[in-house]
Structure 1
Amino acid sequence: MPQELDSHSERRPRIAISVGDVAGVGPELAIQCAQMPAVTQRCQPILYGPQNVLVRAADHLGIALTAEIHDVGELDAASVVPGQFNAATGRTSFEAFDKAITDAIRGDVAGIVTGPIQKEAWHAAGIRFPGHTEVLADRTGIADACMMLTSNIISCVLVTVHIPLADVAEALSTESILRAIHLGASALGRREKRPARVTVCGLNPHAGENGLISHGEETAMIIPAIESARAAGIAVTGPLPPDTAFTPSNRDRTDVYVCMYHDQGLIPLKALAFDDAVNVTLGLPIVRTSVDHGTAMDIAWQGKVNRTSMLAAIDMAIDLSDG
């Protein structure tokens, strides 16, 4: 069901929207946003997912389905129960995402925007990856890609992502921290049109208290990374104690935080910018952004989902695809 192209279509980047788990809010988000003038005036949105389910979701919600669809996944539309994910919905969401990656690598689309997946559904389907970021790293051969969550209020780059807290210290290195600093500074510098100000968090309470409440992670890994970044001309502060790093005064002096583990960055970010934050994977040869919220199974297919994060993710994908 392709979208009719106008005379300006060649100037608008083709953006793949992987709809996520079809039992959640992904289908309605993708369908609604892909037909909004604010989106279609800037890009050619292409929905990646099972067309039969998207048609059913649109009919259920009374929404016109006008976007181009790349039909992916073998799924009986009648079997999908809104709010109830399973192995089949998980596999379909993975296949749609995987196809979008293939098309982005080939240059058929300028970027990928991902809707929310249900990680338990991926696991039930036997998919070995815990999330989008790990799939992207595997498919593109970039082992040290970084996740950045960004909004107009706060931005955080994560050095480690979906690993148990007990494994974080061992997973850190001076090199991985330094790469996160460089990638965060570059991304926010492009957005702000000036050199970015970076704040690096410590790993331990009180940033280790000079080794008194740490195993030397700040001294051995974090401080050397900060010193190397400064030598490269980056404006970087830290390591700051994580419990005070995100105060209003520190946020006023910071464009992007470098956080050592998932919740260190995502707790303050979601507390401050839950509805409009965007997930960006940095360091890849392709553009990928995502909503920064889950599948919201409790309100799936009810027309209640907030579209702000999806629209912001599409906007950022367009901006990044423009170079």
Structure 2
Amino acid sequence: MGDPAGVGPELCLRLLNRSQKNYTPIVFGDASILKKVSKLLDLPMTSPVVSLGTSVTGPAIIHCPTADLSNIVPGRVQANCGEASVEYCLRAITEMKRATVDGIVTCPINKEAIYNAGYSYPGHTELFAEQFADSKTCMMQYAADIACSFVTTHIGYAEVCDQLTIARIAEVIELTNDALTLIRGTAPKLLVCGLNPHAGENGRFGNGEEELLIVPAVKKVKRQGIDATGPVPADTAFTPQSRERFDGVVCMYHDQGHIPIKMIAFDRAVNVTLGLSAIRTSVDHGTAFDIAWSGKANPGSLFEAVRLAANLSKTGK
């Protein structure tokens, strides 16, 4: 359900009220919050509410009691909401490990709220990687007409260079190639962004990250048969012409890919954790506190995330 004070409860209700053909939605969250939002927004809440461990055969709400949420204020950062949002994930992960669910789709959490609750996860990607003990993972943002993955994600710019290695860059290219091959049915053509302006301009900008790290990584994966080109200047990687020629972009840091994908496919893009020994997708937006519990949340990204998770579960990931 994500952060109870964000748009997650509304999105979950809209999902439960949507006609389902290829999947069965099960919401892990707080039933009392969903009831409040249902009444406030006049959204039907007809799915049964059951306790953890209950076997279900149709759409359902699994009530996950956590911290007291009776007095939460929608649209604000609150530690008890941060605690609840993490607990919903952990309980869904438990069911995933028991094979009672086929995939997990996460609604947005607020990082400040989960920090205030005592957790150190920078985001969902890191939480899931830890819980499934998977060391080789990365984030990918995906839509039908654009896809980009990230070598680094939730760290400050000053830390990015320290996290770039030949092995890590090659690993993310490999994960991206495998994922897009699975999703689209054919091996993709990938662009790999440089780190610096103009991809370093042959060493004039930066500290040689392109020449010392990115070029060797691209050469390594090409020897494995992966169709990768780069490093290329990031400011041309997402042009219409590039998107016609290439199927995915590998980015060196968070905003290098998040800005263009939100400009191009804000309500259609999906967050996917690659390399995870489980299926996990997510909406490609935040808690949207400014419109929480208002009836204005666009469920498009959630619907796409559910659709992709359902498709991946059929292919065995």
Please indicate the TM-score interval, normalised by the length of the shorter structure. over 0.9
1:109 counterpart = 2:101 = yes
Do the aligned partners of 1:147 and 1:282 also contact (CA within 8 Å) in 2?
A: yes
Q: Which residue of 2 aligns with 1:4?
A: none
Residues in 2 aligned to 1:253 and 1:34: alpha-carbon distance in whole angstroms: 38
Residues in 1 aligned to 2:229 and 2:174: alpha-carbon distance in whole angstroms: 13
Instruction: Report matched runs for 1:154-233 at 5 Å.
Output: 154-233=146-225
Per the TM alignment, residue 242 of structure 1 is displaced from its structure 2 partner at its CA by 1.1
1:31 counterpart = 2:13 = yes
3-state SS of paired residue (1:148): strand
Residues in 1 aligned to 2:246 and 2:7: alpha-carbon distance in whole angstroms: 33
Per the TM alignment, residue 159 of structure 1 is displaced from its structure 2 partner at its CA by 0.6
Normalised by the length of structure 2, the TM-score is 0.92
Instruction: Report matched runs for 1:307-322 at 5 Å.
Output: 307-322=299-314
Do the aligned partners of 1:50 and 1:75 also contact (CA within 8 Å) in 2?
A: no
Do the aligned partners of 2:67 and 2:83 also contact (CA within 8 Å) in 1?
A: no
Instruction: Report matched runs for 1:48-87 at 5 Å.
Output: 48-67=28-47, 68-87=60-79
Residues in 1 aligned to 2:102 and 2:300: alpha-carbon distance in whole angstroms: 21
Per the TM alignment, residue 274 of structure 1 is displaced from its structure 2 partner at its CA by 1.0
3-state SS of paired residue (1:29): helix
Q: Which residue of 2 aligns with 1:131?
A: 123
Over the matched positions of the two proteins, sequence identity in percent amounts to: 46
Code of the residue aligned with 1:59 in structure 2: it is: K
Per the TM alignment, residue 208 of structure 1 is displaced from its structure 2 partner at its CA by 1.1
Runs of 5+ consecutive residues of structure 1 not aligned to the other structure: 1-18
1:132-170 per-residue CA deviation (whole Å, 9 max, x = no partner) reads 011111111112310000112311000111011111111
1:34-71 per-residue CA deviation (whole Å, 9 max, x = no partner) reads 2311xx22111110111111122112211111331111
Code of the residue aligned with 2:18 in structure 1: it is: M
**Could you say if the C-alpha distance between residues 183 and 106 of structure 1 is closer, same or farther in structure 2, counting changes exceeding 3 Å?**
same
Q: Which residue of 1 aligns with 2:227?
A: 235
3-state SS of paired residue (1:237): strand
Number of paired residues? 303
Please, which moves more after superposition, 135-144 or 301-310?
135-144
Q: Which residue of 2 aligns with 1:7?
A: none
**Could you say if the C-alpha distance between residues 77 and 163 of structure 1 is closer, same or farther in structure 2, counting changes exceeding 3 Å?**
closer
Do the aligned partners of 2:150 and 2:172 also contact (CA within 8 Å) in 1?
A: yes
Residues in 2 aligned to 1:231 and 1:136: alpha-carbon distance in whole angstroms: 31
Per the TM alignment, residue 218 of structure 1 is displaced from its structure 2 partner at its CA by 1.1
